[in-house]
Structure formats: structure tokens, C-alpha cells
């Protein structure tokens, strides 16, 4: 009651109204707005400021802090491990000295991470101060603007927008077909794969940033005594070819590039039977890969250094004819993607017969290896950035933006069901992912991303 009385009084102050009747027939009405026109510019500025504020705070800063914290946490765990190893080994000989050196290097990396964290936090503090000031000025501006809102234009407009949105949503619900079954695909004994968490670890590959293409991981079916080993293949020639595998005895030695050993497929590169393309895997102490200039899967036996192979169908694409990619990049020579899961080794490729769509084959472990069951899918290979297998289900990723990759597709080899509606996000530390593979032994997803080696945890329901 009181407030409506006020607004009538306010209106009387700001508006003057003249009305008179001319010759008893036409009425003339003159309206003078003493307050001047409504400052739309000011309002737009406030709106823009508000949306900018929330964007800059939410999207970039929090994810960066998140991954730094995760990295730091992992490094501290490693340090603790290495320290306990040192304690056991400290008999004053050379072995202890090597461990000490590793610990020194780990400490240096931790300090570097902490400095980065400190910088990010300082930056965030400055940002939040900046934001507070912006908010103060915005609220001052809004108060000023409200004095113009005598006839409640803004609030009515807002109300209208709300109603329009509600109406649209109502319409959508009416038109929507029944939702797809919520059951996720999968037959894992540990439950259904539902999410990807991490990065759990990330580190630059020992060869440095000039080598964006590579592959790494742990053998899911390691030879006796090689359970802790890591393997690494970096495409050191033209980002396409490699002729050897680098082995590390443990996580710590991989991190600091200490004591690597090498398994050479050939002394020259590239040549017959050497590696072409990044998507290779180790399984049962052998490397499975696309061999140089042929449409076949080669297997390099690390023990006796022999190479055997199994050809793909005649219509299979190779030599960079059907690589993975997205709008801004093609991942060169990714025609063949090898993958491991609980049941063994798989190869993902395309054939002209299947119109460039993905074909999936089992690689059986005989001597020589051969192709087992094969499935044709409707997934266009160039629409995916990579693929991997978990518990007999093929998953494909696509590029969303520089911070996010999305697992959007699945093909279940048991039910043959294809899904395009998976929305499982992978947080990236670098823009592009050139290699992805799942290790059924530690249930981690291994990625090679613009020269960085990254792992993610798989989460099950
Ligand atoms: C964090 O950064 C501030 C200023 O940038 C500096 O004064 C401070 O010593 C740093 N702290 C650590 C632990 O590095
Ligand atoms: C690798 O070679 C060794 C020695 O010849 C053999 O025992 C082993 O079965 C081979 N592994 C594969 C996967 O063929």
C-alpha cells in the first residue's frame, strides 16, 4: 500500500501531463518525461559484466587448480614410496645413491609444482579482488537504474522471459520421445563403467615437447618379473615412425628417465616391420602395432625380437587414408588403433566396404597372430579422436574444446548395441590426445597428449 503510493508520487515528480480538448472534438495530450531517456547502454554493460565474471571464474581457474592439486598429491605419494625404498636399500652402496638422486629429482619437481600452485592461487586471489570491485560497481549501477523502473519494465520483461522459457520447456517435454534406456553398456565384473576421473598423473615424456606422438603404459599381461615395468614408444621420426621400445623398471625411473633399456625392432627407421602411427599396445611381453607401409597388425616379441603379423582385410585403409581427428586437426597415421581390455588385444580400423566407418576385430594370440571375430559399426572414423576398449565394449571420444574430450559413443560386442548418447568427460591438460588405451590390470586409461603422458581412473557403478 505504502510503496504503491510512493510510486504514484514518484511518477508525479518525473512526468508532467498536459491535456486539453480542442474544439470539443479532438483531445490533445502532451507528455513530458523530465527524467530523460532510459539508459539502455548502462544496463547492457551490467549484463555483460555479470556474464563475463561468472565465465572467467568458473571455467578456467577451478579446473587448473584441480589438476595442479591432483598432480601434487600424486607426486607426494611417489616421494613417500621412493623414500621407503631408500630406507630399505640404504646400505651405503651405489644403489642407495641412485635412489637418493631420484628422490632429489622428485623433490625438485614437487617444489616446481608448489610454485605453480602458489602462482595460480595468487592469480586467483587477484581475480577475486577484481571481481569484488566489479560486483560493487555493478550493484551501484543497478540501484541507479532501478530509479528509472517506475513502471517496472525490467522486472516485467524478466518475468516474460521466465514464462517464455517455461513454456518452451513444457513444449519440449510434450514433444520428447520416451527417454533411452538409462542402463549403460558393459559387462565388467566390477560393475558398469560410468565415468572417468583425473588426471591422476601427468608428466612430460622424457624425449620432450618436440614429440607430440607416442604411446605408453604397462603391459596388462606382463612377463614374470616385469610386473612393475613401464613401456614407452615415441614416434621420433617425422612424428610417424618409430623403431624401438623404451622400458623403465618403475614409475620413479620413468618420471626421471633413469636407467631406461631399449628393445630395437630394426636398426633403421622407417623400414620393413618398424612402427607406423601412435596407437600401439604391449600385451604378453609383445608389442602390437601397425607396421610400416602395410595394412597389417605386427607383433614384436620382446624376448626373441621376432616379428610376426596378420593382414587386415584387403579393403582396409592404411597410410594416413582414414586417421582420427576433429575440425582443427587430423591425427596423422592413426588408421589402425590397437587396444587392450580384459579379454586381450583388439584392432580398430576402417574399410572402404564399410564406407569409412569403424570396424572392430579381435586379435588372437596364436603364432602367428590372426584376426578373430569382426564387427562393423556405424561410427564414422574421422568423427572420433580416438577409441579404446573396456570389458568388450568399444568406446570413442570426440574433441569438445581444449580442456575437454568427451566419450560419446559405445559399441557393445555382446549385445551389438550402439550408443551415441554417452556424455563422459575427460579433463585434458593439453589440447590434443594422440593416444588412448585402457589397461585392465590397473584399470587406468593411459593417454599421450601433446607430448605429455597422462593417466585417468575409470569409475564403475
Ligand atoms: C608465493 O608467492 C608470493 C608472491 O608471489 C611470495 O611472496 C611467496 O613467498 C610465495 N610462497 C611460496 C611458498 O613460494
Ligand atoms: C616370444 O618368444 C619366446 C621365445 O621364443 C616365446 O617363448 C614366447 O611364447 C613368444 N611370445 C609370443 C607372444 O609369441
pLDDT in tens, 77-106: 877 877 777 777 666 666 666 667 777 877
CB-CB neighbours of 197 under 10 Å? 13
Mean pLDDT score, 253-274 = 93
Q: Which atom of ligand 1 is nearest to the CA of 118?
A: 1
Q: Who wins on pLDDT, 44 or 369? A: 369
Task: Find out whether 291 and 228 touch, Cβ atoms under 8 Å.
Answer: no
Distance between CA 284 and CA 42 in Å, rounded? 68
Q: Which residue lies with its CA nearest to atom 1 of ligand 1?
A: 118
Q: Which residue lies with its CA nearest to atom 11 of ligand 2?
A: 301
0.75 surpassed by pTM: no
pLDDT in tens, 395-444: 999 999 999 999 999 999 999 999 998 999 999 989 999 999 999 999 99
Run of H or E residues at 364: strand 357-364
Question: Does the pLDDT of residue 2 top 50, yes or no?
Answer: no
Distance between CA 261 and CA 376 in Å, rounded? 39
C-alpha cell at 346: 583388439
Task: Find out whether 390 and 377 touch, Cβ atoms under 8 Å.
Answer: no
| Centre of ligand 1 from the C-alpha of residue 118, in Å | 6
At residue 244 the predicted structure's pLDDT band, cuts being 50, 70 and 90, is: very high
Task: Answer yes or no: is the C-beta of 123 below 6 A from any ligand 1 atom.
Answer: no
| Centre of ligand 2 from the C-alpha of residue 345, in Å | 16
pLDDT at 249: 93
C-alpha cell at 408: 560419446
Task: Answer yes or no: is the C-beta of 118 below 6 A from any ligand 1 atom.
Answer: yes
- DSSP conformation letters of 388-457: EEETTEEEEEEEEETTEEEEEEEEETTT--EES---EEEE-SSS---EEEEETTTTEEEEEETTEEEEEE
Q: Which atom of ligand 1 is nearest to the CA of 115?
A: 14
Burial environment of residue 365 by CB neighbours within 10 A (0 to 12, 13 to 18, 19 or more): middle
Burial environment of residue 422 by CB neighbours within 10 A (0 to 12, 13 to 18, 19 or more): middle
| Centre of ligand 2 from the C-alpha of residue 300, in Å | 10
**Residues making up the chain, counted from first to last:** 461
Amino acid at each position: 500500500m505504502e510503496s504503491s503510493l510512493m510510486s504514484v508520487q514518484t511518477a508525479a515528480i518525473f512526468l508532467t501531463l498536459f491535456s486539453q480538448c480542442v474544439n470539443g472534438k479532438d483531445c490533445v495530450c502532451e507528455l513530458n518525461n523530465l527524467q530523460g531517456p532510459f539508459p539502455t547502454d548502462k544496463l547492457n554493460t551490467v549484463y555483460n559484466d555479470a556474464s563475463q565474471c561468472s565465465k572467467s571464474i568458473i571455467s578456467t581457474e577451478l579446473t587448473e587448480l584441480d589438476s595442479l592439486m591432483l598432480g601434487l598429491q600424486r607426486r607426494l605419494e611417489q616421494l613417500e614410496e621412493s623414500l621407503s625404498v631408500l630406507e630399505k636399500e640404504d646400505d651405503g652402496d651405489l644403489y642407495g645413491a641412485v635412489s637418493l638422486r631420484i628422490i632429489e629429482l622428485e623433490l625438485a619437481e614437487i617444489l616446481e609444482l608448489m610454485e605453480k600452485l602458489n602462482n595460480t592461487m595468487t592469480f586467483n586471489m587477484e581475480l577475486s579482488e577484481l571481481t569484488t570491485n566489479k560486483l560493487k560497481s555493478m550493484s551501484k549501477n543497478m540501484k541507479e537504474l532501478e530509479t528509472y523502473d517506475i513502471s517496472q519494465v525490467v522486472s516485467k520483461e524478466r518475468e516474460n522471459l521466465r514464462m517464455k522459457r517455461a513454456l518452451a520447456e513444457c513444449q519440449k517435454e510434450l514433444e520428447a520421445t520416451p527417454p533411452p534406456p538409462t542402463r549403460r553398456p558393459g559387462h565388467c565384473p566390477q560393475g558398469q563403467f560410468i565415468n572417468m576421473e583425473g588426471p591422476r598423473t601427468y608428466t612430460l615424456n622424457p624425449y620432450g615437447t618436440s614429440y607430440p606422438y607416442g604411446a605408453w603404459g604397462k603391459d596388462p599381461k606382463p612377463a614374470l618379473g616385469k610386473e612393475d615395468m613401464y613401456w614407452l614408444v615415441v614416434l621420433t621420426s617425422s612424428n610417424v615412425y618409430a623403431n624401438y621400445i623404451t622400458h623403465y623398471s618403475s614409475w620413479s625411473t620413468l618420471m626421471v628417465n633413469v636407467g631406461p633399456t631399449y628393445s630395437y625392432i630394426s636398426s633403421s627407421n622407417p623400414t620393413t616391420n618398424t612402427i607406423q602411427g601412435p596407437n600401439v599396445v604391449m600385451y604378453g611381453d609383445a608389442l602390437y602395432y601397425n607396421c610400416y607401409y602395410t595394412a597389417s597388425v605386427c607383433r614384436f616379441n620382446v624376448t626373441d625380437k621376432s616379428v610376426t603379423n596378420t593382414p587386415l582385410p584387403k579393403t582396409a585403409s592404411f597410410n594416413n587414408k582414414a586417421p582420427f581427428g576433429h575440425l582443427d586437426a587430423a591425427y596423422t597415421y592413426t588408421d589402425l588403433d590397437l587396444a587392450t581390455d580384459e579379454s586381450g588385444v583388439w584392432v580398430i580400423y576402417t574399410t572402404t566396404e564399410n564406407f569409412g566407418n569403424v570396424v572392430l576385430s579381435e586379435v588372437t594370440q596364436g603364432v602367428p597372430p590372426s584376426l578373430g571375430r569382426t564387427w562393423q559399426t556405424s561410427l564414422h572414423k574421422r568423427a572420433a579422436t580416438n577409441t579404446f576398449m573396456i570389458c568388450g565394449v568399444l568406446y570413442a571420444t570426440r574433441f569438445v574444446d581444449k580442456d575437454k574430450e568427451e566419450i560419446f559413443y559405445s559399441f557393445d560386442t555382446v549385445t551389438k548395441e550402439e550408443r551415441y548418447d554417452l556424455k563422459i568427460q575427460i579433463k585434458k591438460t593439453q589440447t590434443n590426445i594422440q593416444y588412448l588405451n585402457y589397461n585392465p590390470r590397473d584399470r587406468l586409461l593411459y593417454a599421450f597428449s601433446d607430448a605429455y603422458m597422462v593417466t585417468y581412473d575409470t569409475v564403475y557403478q
